Chain A
């Protein structure tokens, strides 16, 4: 008997040890909790690997800016994040134009320029380097901060031509992004387009 009891005891102990590590589906009720609010607006444009949220982003409320896009630009489906979305053909290439708006200053100009720089593989700017690398213009009573970001080291990589516009307590972002050549070819049309942006 004893010779059988020992293997059985070992098998039972092994099962017990194995059972300790087993994971189960659990079902429970908890008081309702609020969904996390985005720590950083501008989701959908974040660097890869960072927490991202898509649909339920708190975009800017209130009156929206209006604009006139050239007929050659193909409107794309706007999403919960994008107030406007176009495919911009130029020089046989295409780039993507997104119009987004978020409440407040979304971390300020420097943070947003640096966020865009990160998206095209450029290193962030120091505060004192911001002013020389942006251009400012005024149109229809709005102040535009325009940045051109194209990595010199990689002419085939993505470039960004963007404009940041504070309006009605929110910040609007017009971002043209695509292959360097496509963005360069679309630059005149994009600048003309910015001049059509106005308050309703």
Chain B
């Protein structure tokens, strides 16, 4: 084996690397915990753990300063796999150690997978309301809706990131191009009549002509949401149709007609549709008698299944979520004087992995202990 490869091998199988990586992860977690004060938990996860490198800002420059969660976790995984392969010896004596290590590997892989595929959404339901979609509490989308058909809406949903980077969208479902213009990641709106000094608006169509948008600093707080505003030009083959202001703050779609069809344009929280719907039948907010201290929040919902299957009644409350079709609905919050229930909707296909991994680790430790115990007892009896 060439010398270089040998060095690589001894680096990756070494226990020193494990110790260094564990030390780095302690520093990373400590630093992230402190930074949570400024950034909030969501941004901290993105910056420190769901990243390969942690960057620091010096003015406009982004300088790499520390390995991120993916790098440390990935190297730990490689280290563990390499050590396993290198030190593997056939025989029953180490079975428990192998099972424990397999559990650890599964735990690391599971974290990586859930970091990549887990998506959190919300479903906000008024009593009696039915919805077949959930909405992101962080991300928005520009929806351009062909509302000509009396039964069905044809939707073209463009992620906010396209507006942010000014990417022109040409979809076969649209008779015009979507050309994003100015974009504010967080903003506030005011009627122009109340903001006489506001600069002229790029909007030439819809409500935006009467409204002034002011950019605000981007917020990372957990209980705040960025409210973007963007100006979007629609350009047909015959020229521009005009420029619309779009923002979730506008609250409702703007309508226009083009090419003999009725259209709506709206920026709204990103939606994910499901092939089933949920109706909120009752929301209960129980308190301890004589106090305002909440005892229990629960939502009684009806799960309306497709293909004429009988609907299911489900009670969702703390630690008793509804799991259906790969989605988990947790009771998250409520609003509107107890008339609106807010469910957190989590899609995480790998949610079982940590349970399996921890069980494997526990099993491995028990097996290893028992192996030693039996061997020890056997030796004693022999004496």
Chain A residues within 8 Å of B, Cβ to Cβ: 17, 20-21, 23-33, 35-36, 38, 43-45, 48-56, 79, 85, 96, 98, 119, 158, 177
Contact A32 B250 (CB under 8 A): no
Q: For the complex, is B156 an interface residue (Cβ under 8 Å from A)?
A: yes
B149-170 vs A, CB cutoff 8 Å, 1 = contact: the mask equals 1111111111101100000010
CA distance A54 to B159 in the complex (A): 24
Residues on A with C-beta less than 8 A from B194 are: 45, 96, 119, 158, 177
Contact B153 A32 (CB under 8 A): yes
Contact B116 A29 (CB under 8 A): no
Residues on B with C-beta less than 8 A from A55 are: 206-207, 254
Known contacts A20-B116, A45-B191; A51 and B151 CB within 8 A of each other: no
Interface extent on B, as a size class?
A: 35 or more
CA distance A27 to B248 in the complex (A): 20
Q: For the complex, is B189 an interface residue (Cβ under 8 Å from A)?
A: yes
Measured CB to CB, the nearest residue on chain A to B195 is: A48
Measured CB to CB, the nearest residue on chain A to B212 is: A48
Measured CB to CB, the nearest residue on chain A to B146 is: A29
* Cβ contacts A to B, 26 pairs, < 8 Å: A23-B161, A23-B162, A25-B159, A26-B155, A26-B157, A28-B155, A28-B273, A29-B153, A30-B155, A31-B151, A32-B147, A32-B152, A35-B252, A45-B194, A48-B189, A48-B190, A51-B249, A51-B251, A53-B251, A53-B252, A54-B207, A55-B206, A56-B252, A85-B193, A96-B194, A119-B194
Residues on B with C-beta less than 8 A from A45 are: 191, 194
CA distance A35 to B133 in the complex (A): 15
Q: Which one of A25, A43, A48, A49 has the highest number of Cβ atoms from chain B below 10 Å of its Cβ?
A: A25
Q: For the complex, is B18 an interface residue (Cβ under 8 Å from A)?
A: no
Give B205-238 interface residues, CB cut-off 8 Å to A.
206-207, 210-211, 214, 227
Residues on A with C-beta less than 8 A from B117 are: 20
Known contacts A51-B251, A52-B189; A30 and B207 CB within 8 A of each other: no
Which listed residue (B173, B190, B227, B264) contacts A27, Cβ 8 A? B173
Which listed residue (B161, B188, B211) contacts A54, Cβ 8 A? B211
Q: Which one of A24, A52, A53 has the highest number of Cβ atoms from chain B below 10 Å of its Cβ?
A: A52
Residues on A with C-beta less than 8 A from B251 are: 36, 38, 43, 51-53
Measured CB to CB, the nearest residue on chain B to A3 is: B5
Q: Which one of B152, B210, B248, B255 has the highest number of Cβ atoms from chain A below 10 Å of its Cβ?
A: B210
Contact B250 A25 (CB under 8 A): no
Beyond A26-B157, A52-B189, A52-B211, 6 extra complex contacts between A and B, CB < 8 Å? A17-B116, A27-B173, A44-B191, A51-B248, A51-B249, A53-B207
Task: Give B372 Cβ to nearest chain A Cβ, in Å.
Answer: 38
Contact A79 B210 (CB under 8 A): yes
Residues on A with C-beta less than 8 A from B255 are: 56
CA distance A30 to B227 in the complex (A): 26
Task: Give A49 Cβ to nearest chain B Cβ, in Å.
Answer: 5
